Chains A and B, each alone.
Chain A
Amino acid sequence: MAKIQLNGKKVSIRSNISIYDLLVRYKLNNKKVAIEHNGKIIQKVRYKKRLLKNNDKIEIVHFIGGG
């Protein structure tokens, strides 16, 4: 098990899962989102290769209504 900070919240995950796995868990793999992993923007093509470890910080953002 590993603990990561996801969108400001502490979340437990299995060790060594990828960003793609995380998106599947939150049903976001088919949604228009963008991801920051420890402050770095990750390209979509790298989601499956990029693995998560303890204390990582992940931000998942999407578009919402705005002016």
Chain B
Amino acid sequence: MFILLGEVNLKKDIFKVANKKIQSRLIVGTGKYKNFLETAKAVKASGADMVTVATRRVNITDKKKPMLTDFLNPKKIIYLPNTAGCFTSDEALRTLRLAREMGGWKLVKLEVLGDKKTLYPNMIETIKSTKILVKEGFKVMVYCTDDPLLAKKLEDLGASAIMPLASPIGTGLGLQNKINISLIINQSKVPVIVDAGIGTASDATIAMELGCDGVLVNSAIANAKKPVLMAKAFKDAVISGRNSFLAGRMEKKFLASPSSPFKGII
């Protein structure tokens, strides 16, 4: 009876970004893999139905060079164009306008970086870009710092999702400021997706247990010794974390409480 009820509840637990239903709360990046075949295998194992992609020049000197779209069908998987590598608002806008022309997608991930060493988001340029993109009809998921005030500002400007970093991109340092992430989760009416810095599957579980709506992972899967297996680990970790959040953890106590009753002891 209880199990049945649990299943029913889980079915109602729908993840939506900009009114678009997304099956998996794990979004994966497609960078840093050995080749496109490995990318495709890892994406499949992760269960993700949304992947981030970057926009770059076509290699015109090698006409036979394989393309990502030959391995990940944009009709079957949601492409989320990003602005990785952009350091100014103008660069980010140019990239996303091109991406929109390419695939017709309005749902995009904005990321404007401020510093090459830390790849920390430049929030001044990010806010400026968000304003313009929203005005142009884009649905913008925004990579940002874990500052609750700036996260609120982005939401007020019309961001479709808030994507605070766990720690700097590609570091694998995990969630460094759970308090700030929690503050952002509690105040936001749009989805909060932790992006960047996740190092291993348990980091994703922790983020989901805090109440994040989803996580975005790239390096932790691509740089694992066995990326496809790690992709599966992340799939399970995100489901576990979400279930754990929905179940509601027990209260923390200072003193012990026995699991077996004292009554009837021999």
Contacts and interface: CB of A to CB of B under 8 A. Distances in A.
Interface of A: 6-9, 11, 26-28, 31-36, 41-44, 59-67
B98 interface: yes
A42 B98 CA distance: 9
Contacts of A59: 57
B99 interface: yes
6 contacts: A59-B57, A60-B58, A63-B69, A64-B68, A65-B53, A67-B218
A62 B81 CA distance: 10
B58 A62 contact: yes
B57 A61 contact: yes
A26 B102 CA distance: 17
Given A31-B69, A32-B74, A66 B53 contact: yes
- The B contact surface, by secondary structure, is mixed
B244 to A, nearest CB: 26
A42 B97 CA distance: 11
A41 B82 contact: no
Interface string B51-92: 011111110110100011100001000010110100000000
B63 A27 contact: yes
A20 to B, nearest CB: 15
B58 A67 contact: no
Given A26-B60, A32-B69, A65 B31 contact: yes
B56 to A, nearest CB: 5
A32 B69 CA distance: 8
Given A9-B60, A31-B67, 17 more contacts: A7-B57, A27-B63, A32-B69, A33-B102, A35-B101, A60-B60, A62-B56, A62-B67, A63-B53, A63-B102, A64-B54, A64-B55, A64-B68, A65-B36, A65-B39, A66-B82, A67-B29
Q: Which of B68, B74, B98 gathers the greatest number of chain A CB atoms within 10 Å?
A: B98
A36 B98 CA distance: 8
B33 interface: yes
Nearest to B54: A66
Contacts of B58: 7, 26, 28, 31, 33, 60-62
